[in-house]
Structure 1
């Protein structure tokens, strides 16, 4: 009878271990979720420059009545283009969306909005990325759900897809609205 060497068993065991780790990672509740140190805290200061022909928002805007979104985006960002129709649909439903154009050329940002539409109630530019850094932005697109006290309720890293709207954003909006009624 042939004896099995530990060297013959090691590669399949190592492979099985990696396969198990991959399977566990794929079935996490939200593999796209990134932690946010800002959740349940006041939104950091809003420091924006103007985009030609657009009105920027400020800290007071984030403390106005109602739930709102702050969306970081850029014209050079392919996922921003993907999420854009969903932002337009949310804005058409009456959800205020405030835009932060991130590290972009003003002319390119305006061309993007001219081509795809402008879902933003107000919008400004974060040309050097300083405001994004203060907010903890990893990259664009990134969106924050803000209540009427200026508190960050939710952070969504990546594009706002229909799945994100249905499974994450709408439940968070409903929870915030129910909390306000209590």
Structure 2
């Protein structure tokens, strides 16, 4: 009786296929697979070396350390997605959520025109002309929104425009956890 040899070539393709399928499945289990993690989560929020924007109240360390949960929103007038998220920020501000605005690498007149046209949801705002504050916060681009607790610690970094899904699934739960 002839002995049969095991043929690895028949088993190898299904094993490779199943392994790759498992890796893809794991990669897509996160909310947003493109989202880069933030090193600021759980740490005290960095300072904000900002300049005044018109006669609006200036965002500073005192605003970050004020009691209660607050949002820090990096935005610019030249940013299309910032226009998309603006009504949601207005809605949060109307609910009494404190939002600190950081105008990122923008022309002051353009930034003030943006707020005049769309409304100002910010309790305090400042201009990050050089982008240094953005670097210290680990900013990848605008818009980005951070949830900061009453102790001045970053609880959540949300990259991209705030929308209904982001509010319900990420930002509101982080705000509740930070209280």
Q: TM-score, normalised by structure 1?
A: 0.83
Partner of 2:109: 107
Structural RMSD (CA): 2.2
User: What is the aligned partner in structure 2 of residue 152 from structure 1?
Assistant: 154
Map 1:8-27 onto structure 2 (within 5 A).
Answer: 25-26=27-28
Structure label with greater radius of gyration:
2
- The corresponding residue for 1:47 is 49
| Correspondence for 1:60 | 62
CA deviations 1:1-28 (Å, max 9, x no partner) are xxxxxxxxx9xxx9x9989876765554
Residues 32 and 157 of structure 1 are in contact (CA less than 8 Å); yes or no, is this contact kept in structure 2?
A: no
Give how far 1:45 is off: 1.1
Moved more, 54-63 or 96-105: 54-63
Aligned-pair CA distance for 1:55: 1.4
Is the CA contact 2:51–2:128 (under 8 Å) kept in the aligned structure 1? yes
Q: Give 1:1-182 correspondences, 5 Å limit.
A: 25-26=27-28, 28-177=30-179
Q: Is the 8 A contact 2:148 2:178 kept in 1?
A: no
The 3 A distance-change label for structure 1 pair 93 and 24 is same
- Which residue of the partner structure matches residue 9 of structure 2? none
What is the aligned residue count? 168
Unaligned runs of 5+ in 2: 1-12
> What do residues 104-139 of structure 1 show as CA deviations (whole Å, max 9, x unaligned)?
000000111111111000101000101110111000
Deviations 1:29-59 (A, max 9, x none): 3224320001100111111001112111211
CA distance in 2, matches of 1:29, 1:101: 27
| Structure-2 separation of matches of 1:81 and 1:31 | 24
